[in-house]
Amino acid sequence: MEPAYVVTLSFLFLFLFLLHHLLGRHRRRTNNGKNKRTQLPPSPPAIPVLGHLHLLRKPIHAALARLAERYGPVFFLRLGSRQAVVVSSAACATECFTENDVCFANRPRFPTLLLVSFGGATLPMCRYGPYWRNLRRVATVQLLSAHRVSCMLPVISAEVRAMARRMYQSAAAAPAGAARVELKRRLFELSHSALMETIARTKTSRAVADDDTDMSPEAQEFMKALDVFLPLLSGANAWDYLPVLRWLDVFGVRNKILRAVSARDAFLRRLIDAERRRLEEGGENNDKKSMIGVLLSLQKSEPEVYTDTMIMALCSSMFAGGSETTATTAEWAMSLLLSHPDVLKKAQAEIDASVGHSRLLGADDLPRLGYLHCIVSETLRLYPVVPTLVPHESTVDCTVGGHRVPSGTMLLVNVYAIHRDPAIWADPAAFRPERFEDGRADGLFVMPFGMGRRKCPGEALALRTLGLVLGTLIQCFDWDTVGGAEVDMAEGGGITLPRAVPLEAICKPRHAMLGVLKGL
């Protein structure tokens, strides 16, 4: 290395170190001038420019949990050009989303989020205000009301039956009548197909009928876009915190995102244009209209509010939230059941006793399947869909856990750590659905769908879909691991909580259900 280059680097590092030191002294003087209650939360040692970014190793929820063990349930991070507060206790999370709910109702304006969310127009990512309130009202009243969810259930049940039929046919054609399946692809295809029907009244096309490995072209198209988006939406994405990375973009992140966004938007436009043509040809009553149909009807009366961009933003949120998260949670549930065959047998026994062997379980059976609900609840406790929630941002100065949180601070709530808090849950890392039986968990803190006014409005639909999917897989098939090996429970990274390795399992039709499966 040239001596002049070494000298330049040394002076640059020295300058950055002195700047960081002077800023740190100023912050300490500011904090010392206030009483103890209004000091910033404790913070790990930072390094110049990066701050604490180097501490956010993936998966981020695990890295934040380790920091919480050392610095407490509320601690402060400087992430490049941004500041953040991390909350890892039930009491402080409740404080954030009750007395400070309005303060934390906003979302940070991350460059990545702006690129993938139509400039911040989607329901999960938009700023708090009149636009969000209207979007939320449309979602809860028009698209995800109890009545609309009930209307969706026959469509979801039909897709679940189609999945069971394909799996039975694959197993029947395999040696020994047992098939090896990659569950995430199956589950994503099911969720996506059901959403295509309810959002756009459009059925997916399959390149190879009843093929075990090929997904429909539509599901593949959307899954490819999500595979690009989700890893970049994590709270540990340095591209959002260091402007120099965006200016240089040596890794081509921006172009990669824009290509995926272009493909997703073209997909959504095709659905909207097709539904607009269908509505022009003949009207339908509101119950039979697709979600896009309902939104296009609203567009006629208020075109300046219900623009095509707003409709695309809502549909994008529905597809992403309804397909990826449902498939991921169901995959974790099956991973846990494969690791605990006694729980699987107990669930089968409950379904056999309540539903029998002469038909598939349906939505009307779910209220009687208490143990199945416990399995879903325990899965969401151990593997919450978004382990640190979608980031929030404070709009005014407030206090959390006795510490000052300045306006403009990003809030990360480590739901994963809270759900595994030994002060709340006995043996918190163990998979024990029984802990939710007979109301034993009532009053204990779980928030897999968030809390407060930004809570996910699709919770009811997600829970009923998960019940139908898991219940059918348990009722119709016996399950085993590939080669009798232990299930790898390693976690992946991103804003959601995927498995590091997709789950593969051996499914064999249950003898008692052969008559039903043959008739599907």
Binding residues for heme: 456
Angstrom distance (rounded) from CA 220 to CA 223: 5
Can you list the positions of beta strands (E) in 7-132?
A: 74-79, 82-87
SS3 state of residue 494:
coil
Angstrom distance (rounded) from CA 44 to CA 421: 22
- Count Cβ atoms within 10 A of the Cβ of residue 334 and give its class: 0-12 exposed, 13-18 middle, 19 or more buried: buried
Angstrom distance (rounded) from CA 480 to CA 478: 7
Q: What separation in angstroms does the CA of 151 have from each of 21, 134, 199, 285, 287?
A: 61, 23, 12, 13, 7
- Under 8 Å between Cβ of 456 and 104: no
In this structure, are strands 82-87 and 74-79 parallel, antiparallel, or unpaired?
antiparallel
Other CB atoms within 10 A of residue 70 CB: 9
Residues written for the chain: 520
Angstrom distance (rounded) from CA 286 to CA 402: 50
SS3 state of residue 47:
strand
One-letter amino acid at 85 equals V
Peptide bond before 384: cis, by omega within 30 degrees of 0?
Answer: no
Residue located via tokens 């593997």: 383
One-letter amino acid at 416 equals Y
One-letter amino acid at 181 equals V
